[in-house]
Amino acid sequence: MIDTIIQGVLSGQRRALARALTIVENGRAGMDDLLAALYPHTGRAAVIGVTGAPGSGKSSLVNAMIAAYRGRGQTVGVVAVDPTSPFSGGAILGDRIRMKQHAGDDGVFIRSMATRGSLGGLSQATRDSIRVLDAAGFDVVLVETVGAGQSEVDIVRTAGTTLVVTAPGMGDDVQAIKAGILEIADVLVVNKADQIGAGQAARTLNHMLELGHPASRLQLVDHHGVMERLPAPHPAPDADLWLPPVVQTVATESRGIVELLDAIDAHRAYLQSAGIAPHIEATRIQIELVDRLRESLTRRMIERIDAAEWGALVAAISSREMSPGQAVQRALSLYDKSTT
C-alpha cells in the first residue's frame, strides 16, 4: 500500500498525495518508509512562509499569491496551519474555506493542518508535509502559520523566504520590536494598503530597518543554532546583508502582488549569489536533527519507564516531596537501569 502511495505522489496523483499527507500528519504506520522514499525527490520547490498578526490578511494574501503564481504557469502547494479544534483535535479549516476558489485547479493543492499546541504556530508534521508536496512536483509551497508573536518564529527553520504581514492601525511598530518580527522577515508586507495609515506604516517599518543593522537569514538561523548548542557556519566576511523590502499590497484586489513576487524572487537570487543558501540549509538540517532526536529519545525513555514508577514520580511532585528537576533525574536513572 505504501509503495502505491509513493508512486502516486511522485506521479502527481491528488488522491495519493492526500493519503500521504494524512499518514504524515497523524504519524500512521508506514510514515518513515514513505518519507524516506520521497526525500531524494525533494529540494526543488520554493518554500515561502507567510506569518503575521491575526487580522492582517494572511489568508487573503496567500489566496492572491496562488492566483499570481498560477498566472506565471507555476504549480502551488499550500500548507495552512490552522488552530486546533478543542473538540476534535483537528484543524478548523478556516483557511481552506477562504481559498475555495482554487478548489477546481489541478495545479493547486491546499492542505489545512492543526497546530495541536506546538510552539511557533507550526505543527510537528509541517516540515514533512512540505517535503511531500515538494516531492509531488509543486513549484512553490506556501506555508501560512497561525500568527507571529514572542516565541512564534519557528517558520524560519522551514521556509526559504519568510513574509511577515502587517496592516495599518494594528500598532505593529512596537510589536515588531518586541517580537523580533524584523529579524525573521525576509520581506515585510503592509497589507490592506488602501486603508488610512498604510503609507505611514510602511515608512515606519523602513525607518526601523534603517535604525538597526539588518539581520540576515544566516544570522537568524545561527541564533537558533546557538540556542540549540550547534555549530553554525558563516558566509564570506564580505557577503552583503539582505535588507528586507517593504511591499504594500491590497490582497483582496490583487494589488501589489506582482511586486511582492518580484521581491521574493530577488531574495532567493540573493541567497544564491551571496553563497549563503548552502550554509543555511546545513544549519537548518542540524537543528532539525536535534529536534527529531530529542523527540525520539524522550518517547523512548518514557516507554521504558514502568507505569507504576511514572505514577510515583507524578505523585511525589504533586505532594511536594520531589521537585520536577529531581523527578527528571530520577527518570533518567530509571531509564539508565532499563538499558543495562
- Among the listed ranges 32-41, 91-100, 200-209, 313-322, which one has the minimum average pLDDT value? 91-100
Sequence-ordered alpha helix ranges (H) in the chain: 2-10, 14-26, 31-38, 58-71, 94-98, 126-135, 172-179, 181-184, 198-211, 217-227, 257-273, 277-304, 307-318, 324-338
What's the mean per-residue pLDDT of the chain? 81
How confident is residue 83, by pLDDT bands cut at 50, 70 and 90? low
Instruction: Please give the C-alpha separations between residue 190 and each of 99, 171, 196, 198, in angstroms, as whole numbers.
Output: 20, 12, 12, 7
The residue among 131 and 174 whose pLDDT is bigger is: 131
122-168 confidence digits (pLDDT tens): 557 888 999 999 999 999 999 998 665 533 556 777 899 999 898 88
161 vs 238: CA distance, rounded Å:
22
3-state secondary structure of 294: helix
How confident is residue 233, by pLDDT bands cut at 50, 70 and 90? very low
275 vs 161: CA distance, rounded Å:
15
- Kindly tell me if the per-residue pLDDT of 65 is higher than 70: yes
163 vs 167: CA distance, rounded Å:
13
Instruction: Please give the C-alpha separations between residue 233 and each of 244, 276, 293, 338, in angstroms, as whole numbers.
Output: 22, 10, 21, 38
Cα–Cα nearest to 109, from 141, 82, 69, 87: 141
- Kindly tell me if the per-residue pLDDT of 12 is higher than 70: yes
> Mean pLDDT throughout 225-241?
47
- Kindly tell me if the per-residue pLDDT of 188 is higher than 70: yes
Amino acid in position 328: V
Provide the pLDDT for residue 303: 87
Q: In what order do the strands lie in the sheet with 108-114?
A: 108-114, 76-82, 140-144, 46-52, 161-166, 187-190, 246-248
- Among the listed ranges 40-49, 110-119, 281-290, which one has the minimum average pLDDT value? 110-119
Provide the pLDDT for residue 226: 43
Query: Is residue 127 packed enough to be buried (19+ CB in 10 Å), middle (13-18) or exposed (0-12)?
Result: buried
Cα–Cα nearest to 149, from 51, 267, 5, 34: 51
* Helix axis angle, 257-273 to 58-71, nearest 10°: 80
Provide the pLDDT for residue 193: 93
- Among the listed ranges 141-150, 170-179, 206-215, which one has the minimum average pLDDT value? 170-179
| Count of positions (residues) in the chain | 340
Cell of 56: 492582517
Cα–Cα nearest to 88, from 166, 26, 168: 26
